[in-house]
Structure 1
Amino acid sequence: MIERYTLKNGIPVFVVENHAAPVVSVQAWIGRGSAYETDKVAGISHFLEHSLFKGTKKRKVGEIALEVESCGGEINAFTSFEETVYYTTLGSRYFEKGLDIICDAIQNPTFDSEEMLREREVILEEIKRSQDSPYRTVSHNLWKTFFPGSPYGRPVLGFDTTVKKIDHKVLKQYFAQHYHAGSISLFLVGDINTKEALALAQKKLGGIKKKKNASIPKVPNYFSAKKPQVVTAERDIKECAIQLAWPAPALSDSQIPPLDVLCTTLGQGESGLLYQHMVKDMKLALDVNMGLVATARCGMAAIGLQVTPENFEPALKELKAFLHRLSSRGLSETEIERVKSSLEAEVIAGKETVEGYARRLGYYFIQFGDPNAEQKYLDSIMAVHPSECDSALKKMLLEKPVLSAVHPVGYKIDTKSITDILNSVPKKEAAVKSKSPEICLTKKSSVRFVEKWMNHLPVVSVKIIFPGGSREESSDKLGVGNLLQRVWTSGTRHYHSKQIAYVLDSLGASISAYVGRHTMGLSLEFLSKQWPSVKPLLTDILLNPTFPEDEFEIEKNILLQDIRSERDMPAQVCQLNFAKALYGDHPYGRSGLGTLETVSSLKTQDLRKFYESYIHQAGVVVSTVGSFDKSRWETEISEIIHRLPSGGAKLAQPRSLTPARELAVVCETKQPLHQSQILVGFLGPDLKNEDRFALKLLHSCLAGQGGRLFLELRDRQSLAYSVAPLQSDNVETGMFGVYIGCSPEKLPVAIHGIRKELERTVESAMSQKELARAKQYLLGRIALDMQRFSSQAMMFGLDEMYGLGFDFSLKLADKIKSISAEDIRRIAEKYLMLDKAVLSIVHNQEMEEAFIRHAWEGKASTLTHSKVRKSF
């Protein structure tokens, strides 16, 4: 139940008591976002988002994040068109501290001049990263063209030209104008006492005064172009990304519910009408989706397409024709009913975590003035009639759309031809007709059931886990696991792919396959009451997959295109090169997608053989979290699984790896590139080696806004927007590393900066204060990650599968608490051998390998970037 209260100064406070887990989310929503900015200060709302955690009158720079992470919590913020949000999620016993931190940040920022200059550099790095993303580019160009001359046509980040002119004085002035009692609302969700929470809120926010609301730049409620518009950009990619959008009204308009149902019916996942037609039937697109984007004052209905260059125009022609055919024949009651069930399930799932629940309340309050508006909106959705969707589609098609596309370098787009397609009207065709729930392990014959019963939500999450996975792929069948994952649920003896998608969406349920490195299986999510309807579908998917030839060919072609475009993103290139250099010919060193050669040769019988080799009774684990009848559940699942073969192929023997004998450097050139990518790492312990817990604490020490990497490389040196430690706990050999993305001219300083931070960890033990923070941060992250039923089911199931024990996660706290600072330093020294590190670099020009080696050693200032051979 949502309780609403108003503080004496008018600030609304919303409280939801939820005692399912000992966590709480504190969120301050400021009803001011980028839509309130003038062109001159574009990006200042986002700049403020960065600034408010950079010190207050009683907390120095870095102390805010440090306090939260010392409590095992997380703190963050985000900016949108209408709002800027500051939030923390942490253990409920630290609620008062979390509330104090958020309230302090939104009232008393110091805007230190030097600190703001450093943070400005970080934001400029974030803008560069955005410019390097082809998908961000296509979106930015769409909004710019769709809403010219309005704040909605600008990126929320602003532009480098405007951000460079924002200093601490401008920030102070804007903050004073927009952050006051008339723009702030507070949301508290979790394991708290309402009366106590309200008293604290009055104490900490009661001193804020109300001011006259700032004027909002005028924006028309509805944009209507006179002719189609086309905007394009080229990037070093392999496929085309397209967004095609039509005008939509503001969020409060009565046309929104039917338009929302229409967009979801057309574009929701693989069951959406567009995906079924464009990807499955016509094979003209690699992916397609559709969504409604509505703001407080304007919006758009947008279709996203991914196509190969040769299918750019054919796909657009068919898309346009399909929409007009659908406009003629109309949507059926059956087609929209499945969407209604799916949206209902989405509302329930949104309340699974305290952070998600609070965020939904904040969104609906900002947009509608009522946090209960979500239920009212859902009621409007449930009342939509097919004829209303038909009217919405007809009206949409009368408008002139905007098309934004990013295409491969060298591919020429005929803008006139595209405009003609968008202008065309196809000929009419004939119409086509408890807080600490018990976790237990039960063994029934060959099946191990790991179960945790939770009744606060009527939802069940299940993981059916089999030993196997991509680790078992032979060298000539690489990618067979990935392809199996894509095709497994696409057809069975009694259901074809459209029936499967329809049944699941109508139930608000999901069944998906997964193939990891060492395990594979099925994931299920469904409302408890829907199990009788889900059961026959699960049975047929598990026992009788047919791997239809047509579905196989579609997914195979998409996988081949994914392989071709896998190296489009600079950060992905950096990671792939790193894995290959670190793990060599071990399976961990290869892409999970396979290769063009191996995937091209795969046949449906290869999927059948892989499925039959590893989907059997031996070793299976069924992990279930949610509200279910334990006895009935175990009986019915056992009956299904016991119809599988008793055994299958023998698993590959584990392979141990040893560190390289010397420093390894791999470099790749990619243009255009606004940010260089750096990944430095080392081999780590295997899953059963308890050294990994010390490395987890080291990771926690380095991670987060209060971590060493963030404070030194981002805050103090302004080298990057994104810098983070990386750790992978693998069955055979793990990994520990550090990633950073920085401007190309900062490359040598960033490389050496990483080394210096790693040297610190090896040469001297962290302080007791750092150790306490690292432990609380890690334990807090574990608690937060355990909110979702699906995460719990996977964690419990994998721990049991790997021989750690189903309740291993419950013992983590004791293991972590027992580790000393010297233990961490000793383990760091053991694994972080700096002279045997692997350095993976993606840069905008070729360079000497010696340049990277000298940068690592701190000698790069004497070198220049001379053009030489690539190192990789």
Structure 2
Amino acid sequence: MIGTGAGAHAPAPAPVGVTQLLDLDEVGGRVERTTLPGGLRVLTETMPGVLSATLGIWVGVGSRDETPAVAGSSHFLEHLLFKGTPSRTALEIATAMDAVGGEMNAFTAKEHTCYYANVLASDLPLAVTLLADLVTDATNTAADLESERTVVLEEIAMRDDEPSDAVHDLFAETLFGDSPLGRSVLGTVESIEGLTRDDVDGWYRQRYAMPSMVITAAGRVDHQQVLDLVTAAFGDRLAGEGQPAPLRLGEAGPDRPARSTGLIARRTEQTHLLLGAAGLGRLDDRRYAAAVLDAAVGGGMSSRLFQEIREKRGLVYSVGSALTHYAGAGAFSVYAGCSKKRVPEVLRLIREELDRVAADGLTPEEVARAQGQLKGGVVLGLEDTGSRMSRLGKSELSHGEYLPVREVLARLDAVDEEQVRGVAAELFGRPTCLAVVGPYRESDLDRL
């Protein structure tokens, strides 16, 4: 994500109880931040032109924090928390939200977990009460764990049945190996079957602490109202002198892939492949130049890969590139899906285009077009309350600061051809790995 953070050193947060005004303009709205006692952080963005609000409770824990023995615990817990609390059953939680036409859900990533609700602004008190209850006081019974274990196993099966999903987890494993970043957020069938109630509930009691949590709200909200609601909902849990958890820095990523190829052999109509290499960490200042590079190479219909492989030759339906950033590590990858007989030519064209950009960089016209694409995407991506709520959470947890939208646009504008050329030479000069889902044998991959 390019829309947050400025570098490796975030400014010192305001003292507990002091509200900071972080942004106030026609693009970013009114953004305010307060740290409550116990280390709980609250950020809001006021959007007067809407009638709704989205609330998120972020926890700075994800699959990167797990050992192989408890792989999938963070995601399993995300499911389990909706099963009930001492004051509400799962049905009562769902009924309360449905009764006001709201939506409540959650997601787990490598480095964080988020529980969120989108409601009418008048129903924000209900959203705060429900989310705070399930995040802080879930029962996590053994019976609920057993019923939800089947659900998670079905989710793993659904991922395995979708080759375009499975190849992304396979690529992470091929690039990062048997490290936390290389393991799926979902865990494995073996790890999920082996999890006990003590494993999951212990993860909850240990990791879901106030210093690790961030609450964000965007829409027709008032910062003081949100603070009052959160203070009432969290109650005694806000007591104490705890400080917010430090920014996750993470270990440096690998210089080369853990292995050169990964394969899931399956009789599919299309071969799904990801070719890529180690990328940049999310606090690397070069990520803006890398974003411009990514957009020009494979980020849209005018990109080099799309034009060369789909438009000119008609070899694929889908082809594109992506950047992934973590604390201290990252990845650059190119995805394509095509028939087996076309795979060698598609891979050759991808490699040739990456080599060409590594050697010659981009033209001024390509840089300008990519900058325009990214800037438009940043602004258009902030049209709804959910995206703004998410931006606040990722800013705080992943970057340790909020960067105004106008500053993000200025940093994209400041990227020039030489910066892009330098990043391209580095990223595209690194050893690559290839992940494949399709009708192959291991020996076939050597020829690819």
TM-score band w.r.t. shorter chain: 0.7 to 0.9
Partner of 2:279: 684
Partner of 1:830: 426
Partner of 2:270: 675
User: Is 1:713 aligned with 2:309?
Assistant: yes
CA distance in 1, matches of 2:365, 2:257: 36
Q: Would the aligned equivalents of 1:676 and 1:742 in 2 still touch at CA under 8 Å?
A: yes
Pairing partner for 1:530 from 118, 123, 129: 123
Q: Which amino acid aligns with 2:47?
A: M
User: Is 1:696 aligned with 2:288?
Assistant: no
Q: Shift of the alpha carbon at 1:740?
A: 0.8
Quick one: percent identity of the two aligned structures?
Answer: 23
Partner of 1:444: 36
- Structure 2 counterparts to residues 19-418 of structure 1, below 5 A: none
Partner of 1:785: 381
Q: Shift of the alpha carbon at 1:598?
A: 1.7
Partner of 2:170: 577
Q: Would the aligned equivalents of 2:55 and 2:127 in 1 still touch at CA under 8 Å?
A: no
My pick for the range that moved more, 441-450 or 489-498, is 441-450
CA distance in 1, matches of 2:92, 2:133: 12
Partner of 2:352: 756
Q: Would the aligned equivalents of 2:251 and 2:327 in 1 still touch at CA under 8 Å?
A: no
Partner of 1:544: 137
Partner of 2:152: 559
Looking at CA atoms only, which structure, 1 or 2, has the larger radius of gyration? 1
Pairing partner for 2:57 from 461, 464, 467: 464
Q: Secondary structure at the match of 2:350?
A: helix
Deviation sequence 1:109-165 (CA, Å, 0-9, x none): xxxxxxxxxxxxxxxxxxxxxxxxxxxxxxxxxxxxxxxxxxxxxxxxxxxxxxxxx
User: Is 1:839 aligned with 2:431?
Assistant: no
Q: Which amino acid aligns with 2:217?
A: T
Long gaps (5+) in structure 2: 1-25
Q: Secondary structure at the match of 2:252?
A: coil
Change (3 A) 1:553 1:804: same
CA distance in 2, matches of 1:838, 1:771: 27
Q: Which amino acid aligns with 2:316?
A: A
Partner of 1:631: 224
Q: Which amino acid aligns with 2:176?
A: Y
Deviation sequence 1:302-332 (CA, Å, 0-9, x none): xxxxxxxxxxxxxxxxxxxxxxxxxxxxxxx
Q: Which amino acid aligns with 2:293?
A: L
CA distance in 2, matches of 1:663, 1:716: 33
CA distance in 1, matches of 2:194, 2:326: 29
Partner of 1:66: none
The two structures, once aligned, show a CA RMSD in angstroms of: 2.4
Pairing partner for 1:799 from 360, 380, 395: 395
Partner of 2:83: 490
Q: Which amino acid aligns with 1:458?
A: L
Deviation sequence 1:442-494 (CA, Å, 0-9, x none): 33332322221112221111122222222222221111111111110220111
Q: Which amino acid aligns with 1:437?
A: G
Q: Which amino acid aligns with 1:566?
A: R
Partner of 2:199: 606
CA distance in 1, matches of 2:117, 2:257: 45
Deviation sequence 1:603-634 (CA, Å, 0-9, x none): 22322211111222214322111112322221
Q: Which amino acid aligns with 1:542?
A: V
Q: Shift of the alpha carbon at 1:687?
A: 0.9
Q: Would the aligned equivalents of 2:167 and 2:272 in 1 still touch at CA under 8 Å?
A: yes
Partner of 2:4: none
Query: Aligned residue pairs: how many?
Result: 417
Q: Which amino acid aligns with 2:416?
A: S
Partner of 1:595: 188
Deviation sequence 1:520-577 (CA, Å, 0-9, x none): 2421211111234444433422332112433322210121233345322222332222
Q: Shift of the alpha carbon at 1:676?
A: 1.5
Q: Relative contact order (alpha carbons < 8 A, sep ≥ 6): 1 or 2 greater? A: 2
CA distance in 2, matches of 1:649, 1:470: 21
Partner of 2:15: none
Deviation sequence 1:351-405 (CA, Å, 0-9, x none): xxxxxxxxxxxxxxxxxxxxxxxxxxxxxxxxxxxxxxxxxxxxxxxxxxxxxxx
Change (3 A) 1:696 1:512: same
Q: Shift of the alpha carbon at 1:642?
A: 4.9
Q: Shift of the alpha carbon at 1:638?
A: 2.6
CA distance in 1, matches of 2:128, 2:211: 22
Change (3 A) 1:455 1:578: same
Deviation sequence 1:808-854 (CA, Å, 0-9, x none): 554211111111112111111112225x11112233243533311xx
Q: Would the aligned equivalents of 2:28 and 2:405 in 1 still touch at CA under 8 Å?
A: no
Q: Would the aligned equivalents of 2:73 and 2:200 in 1 still touch at CA under 8 Å?
A: yes
Q: Which amino acid aligns with 1:701?
A: A
Deviation sequence 1:742-784 (CA, Å, 0-9, x none): 1211111001000011012101121111111000001111111
Deviation sequence 1:689-725 (CA, Å, 0-9, x none): 0122111111110221111111111011111010011
CA distance in 2, matches of 1:736, 1:843: 22
Partner of 1:744: 340
Partner of 1:201: none
CA distance in 1, matches of 2:340, 2:411: 42
Q: Would the aligned equivalents of 1:775 and 1:817 in 2 still touch at CA under 8 Å?
A: yes
Q: Shift of the alpha carbon at 1:597?
A: 2.0
Partner of 1:46: none
Change (3 A) 1:704 1:534: closer
Q: Would the aligned equivalents of 2:319 and 2:335 in 1 still touch at CA under 8 Å?
A: yes
- TM-score, scaled to structure 1: 0.46
Change (3 A) 1:508 1:591: same
Pairing partner for 1:455 from 41, 48, 59: 48
CA distance in 2, matches of 1:732, 1:809: 24
- Structure 2 counterparts to residues 8-19 of structure 1, below 5 A: none
Change (3 A) 1:530 1:653: closer
Q: Would the aligned equivalents of 1:463 and 1:623 in 2 still touch at CA under 8 Å?
A: yes
Deviation sequence 1:166-191 (CA, Å, 0-9, x none): xxxxxxxxxxxxxxxxxxxxxxxxxx
Change (3 A) 1:790 1:668: same
My pick for the range that moved more, 767-776 or 459-468, is 459-468
Pairing partner for 2:370 from 747, 762, 774: 774
Q: Shift of the alpha carbon at 1:739?
A: 0.8
Long gaps (5+) in structure 1: 1-433, 853-872
User: Is 1:657 aligned with 2:253?
Assistant: yes
CA distance in 2, matches of 1:684, 1:668: 24
Partner of 1:148: none
CA distance in 2, matches of 1:650, 1:488: 22
Q: Shift of the alpha carbon at 1:650?
A: 8.8
Q: Secondary structure at the match of 2:276?
A: strand
- TM-score, scaled to structure 2: 0.87
Q: Secondary structure at the match of 2:58?
A: strand
Q: Secondary structure at the match of 1:842?
A: strand
CA distance in 1, matches of 2:411, 2:215: 26
Q: Which amino acid aligns with 2:209?
A: H
Q: Would the aligned equivalents of 2:212 and 2:244 in 1 still touch at CA under 8 Å?
A: no
Partner of 2:12: none
Q: Which amino acid aligns with 1:802?
A: S
